[in-house]
A and B are shown apart, each in its own frame.
Chain A
Amino acid sequence: MFTSRGLMLLVLLGAMANVNAAPTHHHINASAIGTGVARGLNWEDESLQSPVWCGSACSYLQVSTAKIAPDIGSTYKPLGWPGPFSTIFPDPAVVERSIPTPQGTVDSSGREIVHDSTFYERAAVDVNRAGMSLTAKVYQSGNQPTGQNGTAAAVLAYHTRVQNQSSGGRDFFVRFTAPKSLKSLSAADYIGGPSGNQPMYYTQKYAKARSSVDVLVNGMPVWSTASNYFFPEEFTGGPYEGFRNNWGSASDDDIYTVFVGRFASGAIFNLDFIVRADSVARAPQCGKDTEPATYPNPRVLMHCFLLGEGRDLPDASNAQQRFEIYSKTVSTAIYQLLPGVIPISSISSKSISIEAH
């Protein structure tokens, strides 16, 4: 009876799962962005040298936040902002904000009303089947007391202070599994129409979602990925249509090693890792399927518009998914002939311009 809806969800889940794909390992030389000084790097040489793990040279500060309408501020964990720095990469702190859908309610005929989602709005950093994830979901919004859009937003931010504690310059690397985008969209539908047995839809009035991941060195992104979904107010397409777009690096089963540059002995730099997700929707109409009276305990099944966006997160207990920082001495200087007269005085190392091709 509900084959169309089930199929749609199956397709979405299948597309998201992609469990058999082998991870692709990418190597990025971002030394010019990280330090302003581009250095050459042979990744084969890099792979042959043992890493020096950051250990106590890295101090991590982490915060997870969640926010749903009508919140003004963001609920956060761990409490006590800004929390203490840790020398061990901490697991994401679990945080959640949600408004539950009614449970145990019945209609005028005594039939239980069951919603597809257990939440109208939910923003969370929490544990899913695969590990940790960051989630922002909105269900049937637009029918709230305020009449405003439903919104959910979650953020996970790691702020790392890295110090080169060696006696000489070191090349610093960060390795991580790209947090995979976790999308979900389910239209408000019911079974009916002229045949009485076909899926009928209530199209959402407005919806949008985004998720992004950024890795920054001293305030400049050395790696980014983002995913967008838009269903504008003026758009006249169907409920599963809309506009989707990705920015930046691929993030499906992708592992990245980013060379962020060579830092002098004693140098301290910031390495930030920021994951965000937002969902916004206005979709007041829900589909309703009433199970036949011949069923033992007939129910009323509510199918409202559901929009979700999120990201898988690093898992400190899983080596493949850790956010790891290490150093080596493997890069080589790139000498660039500056245009014009050769300067007699030394050039300030603070503002050398580097081109990377």
Chain B
Amino acid sequence: MRTLLLLVAACAAVHANAAELPFRLATSGEVTSLAQPSVIATPLNQTDFMTGAHVTVKKPSSNTTSKAQRANQATSAVYKAAISAGTDPNPHPVPPAVQPGDFVYYEDNHDSVQAWATMSELGQPFVMVYADGQTQGSATASWSTRYLVPGSGNRDVYVQFKIPAVNFGGRFEDAHPSLTWARMRTDFLVNAYPAWSTETTRFNETWIDPDTNRLREKAVHLETFGFDLGLDADHTTSTARTITLKLGTYPAGKPLDLTLLFQVEGKLESECGPDGGEIVCGNIAVKVSWDPTLPQPTFYSKPAP
């Protein structure tokens, strides 16, 4: 009886408002059709686009510091670190790609955080936060453009872009346990509306070990809203994904303001501290990977049937 009631209610609700925004993932047939000669393909760099990159970092007992860059039809790339001890191992933005030796080392740098943000002139993103101890950081990169639907008559409009591999990492130190949070957000906006989005958050769960009366890490959780990139506690790295969206049917000449925005953030609650003869800390790391071979975001306009 209850199931029947729900079914009836659901059907009633579904049909109460039929008008839906036109954004959806393209079907495989539609993706194939975008290679047809009647389709006008416009790569990002053939539009009047703008890039942006912005990072913030914060270490204990200090204010947040930031760095930003904007560019028209060119790369925006910034790097910033907040270092509590020692020297910053890597003062350059990406590209070139970050190397293993570019990261702060907790024994030398203690509570320190690094953040990178890049949006290349070909729409290739890189955002990363690497944080040790009681620090936090954020990295944001985007492109935005005004796309004038080309062709004549009514046109079906699509966009195709690739999301690089996303990676979450972290380190829990029993001697100085820390709750940690990290998240990755990617939004594709059409006239400010998030037509496609994904957001994954990583956080850890702790418990008190009754044998030692000390805090231990019980579990790491990854939770996603929006499009599922396949990230979970057992899969902390996603594979690169090509996203093709249908944006709707518009008359030729219609302007659409489009943005692709990548954001990562990370923060830890506890400071580094001594463990025997060395300094140890918890760590959180999150990134949208740099891939210089990533194809350009491309817009497609094809005659509407």
Contacts and interface: CB of A to CB of B under 8 A. Distances in A.
Interface stretch (A6-14, A125-133, A167-175, A230-238): A230-238
Interface in A183-220: 208, 210, 216, 218-220
A276 B185 CA distance: 13
Given A35-B70, A36-B71, A350-B74, A157 B191 contact: yes
A82 B24 CA distance: 16
A72 interface: yes
Contacts, number: 186
A110 to B, nearest CB: 15
Contact of B193 (A33, A95, A145, A155): A155
Contacts of B70: 33-37, 218, 220, 350-351
Given A63-B21, A219-B52, A230-B221, A270 B257 contact: yes
Interface of B: 2-3, 5-7, 9-10, 13-14, 16-17, 19-24, 50, 52, 54, 63, 65-76, 78, 80, 140, 142-144, 181, 183, 189, 191-194, 199, 201, 203, 205, 219, 221, 223, 225, 248, 256-257, 259-261, 263, 265
Contact of A357 (B10, B65, B203): B65
A55 interface: no
A230 B222 CA distance: 10
Contacts of B16: 97
A: interface residue count bin: 35 or more
Given A274-B194, A350-B74, A81 B21 contact: yes
A74 interface: yes
B236 to A, nearest CB: 15
A87 interface: no
A73 B20 contact: yes
B203 A219 contact: no
B193 A157 contact: yes
Interface of A: 32-38, 61, 63, 65, 68, 70-76, 79, 81-82, 95, 97-100, 102, 105, 120, 143-145, 155, 157-159, 208, 210, 216, 218-221, 228, 230, 232, 234-235, 243, 245, 247, 270, 272-274, 276, 278, 280, 350-357
A95 to B, nearest CB: 8
B189 A120 contact: no
Contacts of B74: 350-351
Contacts of A100: 9, 13
Contacts of A235: 205, 221
The residue in B69, B205, B256, B261 that gathers the most chain A C-beta atoms within 10 A of its C-beta is B69
B65 A68 contact: no
30 contacts: A33-B54, A33-B66, A33-B70, A35-B70, A36-B70, A72-B24, A75-B17, A75-B20, A97-B13, A98-B13, A155-B193, A216-B189, A216-B259, A218-B144, A220-B54, A220-B68, A232-B219, A234-B219, A245-B201, A270-B144, A270-B257, A272-B189, A272-B259, A273-B192, A350-B70, A352-B69, A353-B78, A355-B66, A355-B80, A356-B65
